[in-house]
């Protein structure tokens, strides 16, 4: 065993000396390889972190949302339906949700005004709870500063702050203005008895399918959105985004593949001669292949480690600064959020096998061909 180890170490030492002879070319290869791993790993780490975040946070969304559709578009829903839905067995609560948008001419941003479902969160008349981005973009620098919203020229609707939502929850609440029902209806001049949509709580999550079916029979024109669908919308959205990023990196990956294939498969005359000399002085085919395995392995493992370690730092310590606009998107009021650092072992292994193995394998085939040939023929 010690003999085998010593032999491998000698082979690795020889490989490193050979790599050092073409220092610039190999350093360039390592850096480009690491860059490719870095881009793909950044996209993967970011997407899996935000997917996980969305999954955990939206797990508390209402089990079922019922929207009314008129001419194929979302319309206000009658409050009378609440009574009918309560009658469905397995439904533990039905509440009309009131939420809507307001475009603020002052900063060109859209806010979401909403009446919270939980009554203990509803502010008093004339007061509102603001999301994290709102005071920031409207310049409400002190806690007691009121917010004035202008719906049309000459109009001012005053909302005194009842509190601010913590920046920790910015991902779901950055543009929110939580107000009471009376304020909401007077702000949007909304009649009594209608709601934006209806939130249904279901006692046993295994019954959601049955309840959706019953509610669908009761309200054939309505659109029913389950919590599972909400969650899947975001899983799709961020998987798609990751895909875009990987496609953008595709050009880089392709260029690298051409470069690596050229480097790995097209043996230079110098390398072929080197193999010939090694065989002539007594190396056998196994030694030559082991030496090249070391070369491919050292370069690809080095690039993988460098790329992955830097990608983690990039995404979680520097907020994915290099590709933030591609990965996160942008908006007039964008939430200021941090992601939970996480490393998904499965994804990391997939990345490892997709980068390290093909390169190492690509170096072996041409070497095997050269190494099995007659030294005299190879050197010629």
In the region spanning residues 155 to 174, those forming contacts with other proteins, defined by CB under 8 A, are 165-166, 168-174
Nearer residue to other proteins within complex by CB, 42 or 272: 42
Q: Which of 157, 187, 259, 334 binds other proteins (CB under 8 A)?
A: 334
Stretch that binds other proteins, among 82-90, 142-150, 268-276, 341-349 (CB under 8 A): 341-349
- Check: CB of residue 300 under 8 Å from CB of residue 353: no
Site string for other proteins, 352-371 (x = CB under 8 A): --------------------
- Check: CB of residue 112 under 8 Å from CB of residue 332: no
Site string for other proteins, 237-256 (x = CB under 8 A): x--xx--x------------
Shortest approach of other proteins to residue 329 CB, angstroms? Answer: 5
Please state whether 174 falls in left (phi above 0), alpha (psi between -120 and 50) or beta. Answer: alpha
Decide if residue 47 touches other proteins (CB under 8 A). Answer: no
- 3-state SS assignment for residue 358: helix
Q: Which of 197, 242, 274, 295 binds other proteins (CB under 8 A)?
A: 197
Decide if residue 176 touches other proteins (CB under 8 A). Answer: yes
Nearer residue to other proteins within complex by CB, 28 or 262: 28
Q: Which of 16, 30, 252, 253 binds other proteins (CB under 8 A)?
A: 16
Q: Which of 80, 118, 155, 189 binds other proteins (CB under 8 A)?
A: 118
Cα–Cα nearest to 211, from 369, 62, 321: 62
Contacts of 334 (CB under 8 A, 6+ apart): 133, 174, 328
Shortest approach of other proteins to residue 234 CB, angstroms? Answer: 7
Chain centre distance of CA 31: 25
Cα–Cα nearest to 236, from 247, 228, 246: 228
Tokens describing residue 43: 């996209």
Shortest approach of other proteins to residue 203 CB, angstroms? Answer: 15
Q: Which of residues 54-83 bind other proteins (CB under 8 A)?
A: 54, 56-62, 65, 67, 72-74
Size of the site for other proteins (CB under 8 A): 86
- 3-state SS assignment for residue 148: strand
- Check: CB of residue 200 under 8 Å from CB of residue 97: no
Q: Which of residues 274-333 bind other proteins (CB under 8 A)?
A: 298, 301-302, 305-306, 308-309, 312-313, 316, 328-333
Shortest approach of other proteins to residue 295 CB, angstroms? Answer: 12
- Check: CB of residue 199 under 8 Å from CB of residue 117: yes
Nearer residue to other proteins within complex by CB, 199 or 370: 199
Q: Which of 6, 7, 236, 369 binds other proteins (CB under 8 A)?
A: 236
Shortest approach of other proteins to residue 258 CB, angstroms? Answer: 26
Nearer residue to other proteins within complex by CB, 235 or 265: 235
- Check: CB of residue 292 under 8 Å from CB of residue 366: no
Decide if residue 114 touches other proteins (CB under 8 A). Answer: yes
Nearer residue to other proteins within complex by CB, 16 or 373: 16
Decide if residue 4 touches other proteins (CB under 8 A). Answer: no
Q: Which of residues 204-223 bind other proteins (CB under 8 A)?
A: 209, 223
Decide if residue 229 touches other proteins (CB under 8 A). Answer: yes
Tokens describing residue 314: 């990039």
Residue with tokens 């578009």: 73
- Check: CB of residue 342 under 8 Å from CB of residue 48: yes
DSSP-assigned states of every residue in 279-296: HHTT--HHHHHHHHHHHH
- Check: CB of residue 366 under 8 Å from CB of residue 267: yes
Cα–Cα nearest to 377, from 264, 284, 280: 280
Residue with tokens 């005359």: 269
Rounded Cα–Cα distance for residues 171 and 54 (Å): 9
């Amino acid at each position: 065993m010690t003999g085998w180890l010593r032999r491998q170490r000698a082979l690795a030492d020889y490989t490193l000396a050979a790599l050092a002879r073409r220092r610039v070319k190999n350093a360039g290869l390592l850096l480009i390889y690491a860059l490719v791993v870095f881009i793909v790993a950044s996209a993967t780490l970011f997407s899996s972190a935000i997917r996980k975040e969305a999954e955990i946070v939206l797990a508390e969304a209402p089990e079922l949302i019922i929207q009314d559709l008129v001419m194929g578009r979302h319309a206000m829903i009658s409050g009378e339906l609440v009574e009918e839905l309560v009658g469905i067995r397995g439904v533990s609560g039905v509440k009309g949700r009131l939420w809507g948008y307001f475009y603020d001419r002052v900063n060109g941003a859209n806010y979401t005004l909403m009446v919270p479902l939980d009554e203990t969160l509803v502010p008093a008349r004339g007061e509102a709870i603001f999301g994290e981005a709102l005071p920031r973009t409207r310049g409400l620098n002190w806690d007691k500063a009121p917010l004035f919203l202008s719906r049309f020229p000459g109009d001012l609707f005053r909302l005194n702050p009842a509190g601010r939502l913590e920046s920790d929850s910015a991902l779901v609440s950055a543009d929110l203005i939580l107000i009471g029902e009376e304020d909401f209806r007077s702000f949007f001049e909304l009649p009594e008895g209608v709601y934006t949509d209806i939130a249904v709580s279901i006692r046993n999550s295994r019954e959601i399918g049955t309840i959706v079916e019953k509610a669908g029979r009761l309200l054939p024109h309505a659109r029913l959105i389950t919590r599972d669908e909400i969650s899947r919308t975001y899983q799709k959205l961020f998987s798609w985004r990751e895909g875009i990023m990987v496609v953008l990196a595709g050009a880089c990956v392709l260029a690298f593949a051409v470069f690596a294939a050229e480097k790995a498969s097209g043996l230079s005359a110098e390398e072929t001669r080197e193999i010939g000399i090694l065989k002539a002085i007594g190396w056998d085919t196994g030694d030559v292949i082991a030496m090249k395995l070391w070369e491919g392995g050292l370069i690809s493992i080095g690039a993988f480690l460098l790329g992955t370690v830097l990608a983690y730092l990039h995404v979680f310590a520097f907020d994915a600064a290099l590709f933030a606009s591609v990965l996160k998107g942008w908006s007039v009021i964008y939430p200021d959020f941090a992601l939970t650092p996480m490393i998904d072992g499965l994804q990391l292994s997939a990345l490892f096998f997709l980068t390290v193995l093909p390169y190492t394998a690509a170096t072996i085939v041409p070497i095997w061909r050269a190494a099995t040939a007659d030294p005299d023929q190879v050197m010629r």
